[in-house]
Amino acid sequence: MIKPDLFDVVELLVDIPELGRSAGDRGAIVEQYSDRASEVEFTNPEGETLALHTLSPEQFIVVWQAKTKTWVSLADRITSAVQKLSEERQEEVLNFTRSLYKNWV
């Protein structure tokens, strides 16, 4: 799993309706409070701040790393997301993947 760092771009894994955020929304980490909380800034296409929210690492995955200035591969994003699931849910994802592969090949 990729550890979130300052200025990384993250993508929400979950809807947070009380904050007006949806899974897939992207923002940048602008403050790290601990390993358990990051301040994420959400902006409009012009770069104007729409909102700042304190989020836990379970709520998002890193999609762009500021340190290396590179996008995280799709495989690594999927791995990061799946690792945040319970063991039971991970097994469901594996079974679903098997069914996709079986029907695709």
- Please report whether residue 24 resides in a domain: yes
- Please report whether residue 68 resides in a domain: yes
pLDDT computed for residue 101 by the predictor: 87
Give the domain extent around 100: 9-104
Q: Indicate the helix (H) or strand (E) that contains 23.
A: none
Cα(103)–Cα(81) distance, rounded to whole angstroms? Answer: 24
pTM tops 0.85, yes or no: yes
> Which portions of the chain are predicted below pLDDT 70?
105
- Please report whether residue 3 resides in a domain: no
Number of domains comprising the chain: 1
| Longest distance between any two alpha carbons in the chain, whole Å | 46
